[in-house]
Amino acid sequence: FQAEDGIRDVERSRGLGDVYKRQHHLINRCNFSGNHYSILLDTAHFNTIQYNQFIGNDFGIYLNDAFSNIIECNNFIDNSKDATFDIFLLYLIYSPNKWDGNYWSNWQRILPKPISGYASIPIGIIPPTSLKIYWFNFDWHPSLKPVV
């Protein structure tokens, strides 16, 4: 699985949509614009998302129980929500996603860029329930200008 060279729809769509249980794949040099979810990684691990354009989407990237992914050198421009996540707390601690070198149009500082989301802590087995707490990932080296 490899996506390249542009994913676009004239109507609000799902972009690349739900990348479910995919591992060790590359999403590279795509243009995502006007989507509801440009990329939804759902239980997807060890993927690389790099050199993509996320422009004018509702959600640029949404990670749902997705860990150990690399999100680097992308441009997030004028999205309602550039990136977010909802991941089990243990994954966040022991197998975090790596955000690095992305350009964020709403962040023009040399400080690390916080990416807000939720960490889930299991609290019940029957029925399966979890407690969600507000959590942050960080792009430790955000780019101050769009990535070429």
DSSP string, 119-131: EEEEEETTTTEEE
Give this prediction's pTM.
0.84
Question: What is the DSSP code string of 25-76?
Answer: -EEES-EEEEESEEEEEES-BS-EEES-EEES-SEEEEEES--S-EEES-EE
> In sequence order, which residues have a C-beta less than 8 Å from that of residue 35 and are 6 or more positions away?
7, 9, 12, 13, 14, 15, 57, 58, 59
Summarize pLDDT for 8-50 with one digit per residue, the tens: 444 444 455 456 566 788 999 999 999 998 999 989 999 999 9
Summarize pLDDT for 70-115 with one digit per residue, the tens: 999 999 999 999 999 999 998 888 899 999 999 999 999 999 999 9
